[in-house]
Amino acid sequence: MTTRILWFRRDLRLGDHPALLAAADGARVLPLFVLDPRLAAPGPRLDRLLASLAALRDATSEALVIRSGDPASVVPTVAREVGAHAVHVSAESTPYGRRRDALVRERLRGEGVEFVETGSPYAVTPGRVRNRTGDPYRVFTPFLHAWRDHGWRAPAGLADVAWVRDVDSLALPQHPQVDAGERAALERWQSFLAEDLDGYATDRDRPDLDSTSRLSVALKYGEIHPRTLLADLLDVAADAAPADIERYVTELAWREFHADVLHHAPNSTRDDLRPTLRRMPHDPESELVDAWRAGRTGFPFVDAGMRQLLHEGWMHNRVRMVTASFLVKDLHVRWTLGARHFLDHLIDGDIASNTHNWQWAAGTGTDAAPYFRIFNPVRQGLRFDPSGDYVRRWIPELRHLDGATAHEPWRHADGHRHGYPERIIDHAQERREALARLTEVKEHSR
DNA sequence: TTTTGAGTTGTTCGA
DNA sequence: GTCGAACAACTCAAA
């Protein structure tokens, strides 16, 4: 029986895994993960990855081999060691992933080893959805329709795999024990379906209710495949409100849309997707930006989000929009600076979603949105955290304020008693400033 | 080819 | 307090 390698990357699961099925078909499989120093900087994200790898090693009955280094040399080395004839992967679509895979493919070819891509981390592989003229979509709604029409295959079952054993592997570095891996992801998903799908369409915007599925990390590492989620949503459709199902499907479609946009515009991680604002004057790094990062802007909703990010490596979606708007429109800082900070701290940090949600917030992205859409950080807080619970959860200095009053400590005599900072800017004034800069840019480019 | 309709997530102001 | 209008202009997608 021949030996093949299944090189795991963003697909740390055994179920519904087309590349694993392809590898296991008539061959023994060596499961391999390469800790790439370019992607695995120490921190919460690496900790989360290691926890997922521990779960995967467990699921493969300890067969998983972990190596560290540049995949372009590590993967061919392991192939040589075990006499593999092929390396199977799920196709990658990020700029770095594609460059890396092209190089690995090249090196393997030199040794007579096949590099086989099957499936991807998406229901529809990025690049597949096209409009009538064969071009990619740049507007979400038409993409959504075409994506749906394109369809996806049903989830594949669990592979019956003969693992190759006893190959040298790194021991997993020490890491905190957290809920991770395929089984945890499936359990989380089932619990979401049972408890939080009902009302999702509206509750998803409420950080105080914490009623999202929290599957972004599992999706990032491929502990669960979106195909599985889509199939299950179809199954429960008879018992659930169409609006709730529709909304979840749409959120998955956003993830696929952003991957598609990045696939077609790999430079968009740094460059504006639309060059219309290229003359926009931006403010440089400053103590204001430091305050934003630290969650000390004096705007409770913004600060709660930024502190949640630092503490949990995760932030509620609504709050990501508000904090991003604050950096870009109130502090007039270029979006790439915020995108980098998010990517440094988010354990679900996904290059495609992060990049294009930031571009959206900055008005340089796929959204041909009205430029006057500037979030009012206080108003957003009052509207989406009406209980004030979210703000109090993350800002101890405001816990003495009841209900929604926690959103406006400056209106209360003892609001700043426990050291909560004063507002670092005047929102109304910076809003006018943002609009003025935009107007000026438009006039210059005319 | 030209035309037409539409585009995730908002805020403010004045009646 | 509520409600509708104004805030502009452009690009995309489809007919």
The tens digit of pLDDT for each residue in A184-230 reads: 999 999 999 999 999 999 999 999 998 999 999 999 999 999 999 99
Return positions of chain B under 7 A from a protein CB: 6-12
Q: CATH number of the domain that A414 lies in?
A: 1.10.579.10
- Are A298 and A399 found together in one domain? yes
- Are A327 and A434 found together in one domain? yes
Q: How far is the CA of A250 from the C1' of C14 (A)?
A: 22
Asked whether the beta carbons of A12 and A224 are under 8 A apart, the reply is no
Is it the case that residue A369 has pLDDT exceeding 70?
A: no
- Are A233 and A352 found together in one domain? no
Question: Strand, helix or coil at A213?
Answer: coil
Please give the residue range of the domain that contains residue A328: 275-445
Half-sphere exposure of A9 (CA within 13 A, CB side): 24
Q: Is the CB of A372 under 7 A from strand B?
A: yes
- Are A22 and A132 found together in one domain? no
- Give the end of a domain, one of A264, A288, A308: A264
CA pair distance A324, A321, nearest whole angstrom: 5
Instruction: Answer whether residue A222 is part of any domain.
Output: yes
pLDDT of residue A290: 98
Q: Is the CB of A374 under 7 A from strand B?
A: yes
Asked whether the beta carbons of A146 and A129 are under 8 A apart, the reply is yes
DSSP string, A319-356: HHHHHHHIIIIIS---HHHHHHHHHHH-TT--HHHHHH
Domain count, chain A: 3
Instruction: Answer whether residue A430 is part of any domain.
Output: yes
Q: How far is the CA of A142 from the C1' of B4 (A)?
A: 16
- Are A289 and A430 found together in one domain? yes
Q: What single-letter amino acid sits at A78?
A: V
In this structure, of A6-20, A108-122, A357-371, the range with the lowest mean pLDDT score is A357-371
- Are A146 and A104 found together in one domain? no
Mean pLDDT of A387-394: 97
Mean pLDDT of A416-436: 94
For chain A, what percentages of helix, strand and coil (3-state, to nearest 5) are there? 50, 5, 40
- Are A294 and A402 found together in one domain? yes
Q: Is the CB of A45 under 7 A from strand C?
A: no
Q: Is the CB of A445 under 7 A from strand C?
A: no
Strand partners, A116: A88
- Are A233 and A286 found together in one domain? no
- Give the end of a domain, one of A207, A234, A264: A264
DSSP string, A68-114: ES-HHHHHHHHHHHHT-SEEEE----SHHHHHHHHHHHHHHHTTT-E
- Are A147 and A290 found together in one domain? no
Q: CATH number of the domain that A34 lies in?
A: 3.40.50.620
User: How confident is the prediction for chain A on average, in pLDDT?
Assistant: 94
Instruction: Answer whether residue A66 is part of any domain.
Output: yes
Q: Which residue is nearest to nucleotide C10 (CA to C1')?
A: A368
Strand arrangement of the beta sheet that strand A114-117 belongs to: A65-68, A27-35, A2-8, A86-89, A114-117
pLDDT of residue A118: 97
For the four alpha carbons of A185, A189, A192 and A197, in that order, the dihedral sign comes to positive
Instruction: Answer whether residue A177 is part of any domain.
Output: no
Q: Which chain A residues 243-302 have CB under 7 A to strand B?
A: 250-251, 254
Q: CATH number of the domain that A255 lies in?
A: 1.25.40.80
- Give the end of a domain, one of A239, A264, A289: A264
Q: Is the CB of A132 under 7 A from strand C?
A: yes
Q: How far is the CA of A168 from the C1' of B8 (A)?
A: 49
Q: What is the pLDDT of residues A12-68, one digit of tens each?
A: 999 999 999 999 999 999 999 999 999 888 888 999 999 999 999 999 999 999 999
A51-80: burial string, b at 16+ Cβ within 10 Å, e else: bbbbbbbebbeebbbbbeeebbebbbebbe
- Are A215 and A292 found together in one domain? no
Mean pLDDT of A349-365: 93
Is it the case that residue A367 has pLDDT exceeding 80?
A: no
CA pair distance A126, A94, nearest whole angstrom: 10
Instruction: Answer whether residue A175 is part of any domain.
Output: no
pLDDT of residue A278: 82
- Are A440 and A292 found together in one domain? yes
pLDDT of residue A368: 62
Is it the case that residue A359 has pLDDT exceeding 60?
A: yes
The region, left, alpha or beta by phi > 0 then psi within -120 to 50, assigned to residue A17 is: beta
- Are A41 and A105 found together in one domain? yes
Q: Is the CB of A317 under 7 A from strand B?
A: yes
Query: pTM of the prediction?
Result: 0.96
Q: How far is the CA of A42 from the C1' of B7 (A)?
A: 41
CA pair distance A59, A20, nearest whole angstrom: 14
Return positions of chain C under 7 A from a protein CB: 7-14
Residue position matching structure tokens 């795999």? A161
Q: Which chain A residues 357-386 have CB under 7 A to strand C?
A: 368-372
Is it the case that residue A166 has pLDDT exceeding 80?
A: yes
Instruction: Answer whether residue A161 is part of any domain.
Output: no
Question: Strand, helix or coil at A268?
Answer: helix
pLDDT band at A136 (very low <50, low <70, confident <90, very high): very high
Instruction: Answer whether residue A168 is part of any domain.
Output: no
Instruction: Answer whether residue A110 is part of any domain.
Output: yes
Residue A396 CA to chain centroid, in angstroms? Answer: 28
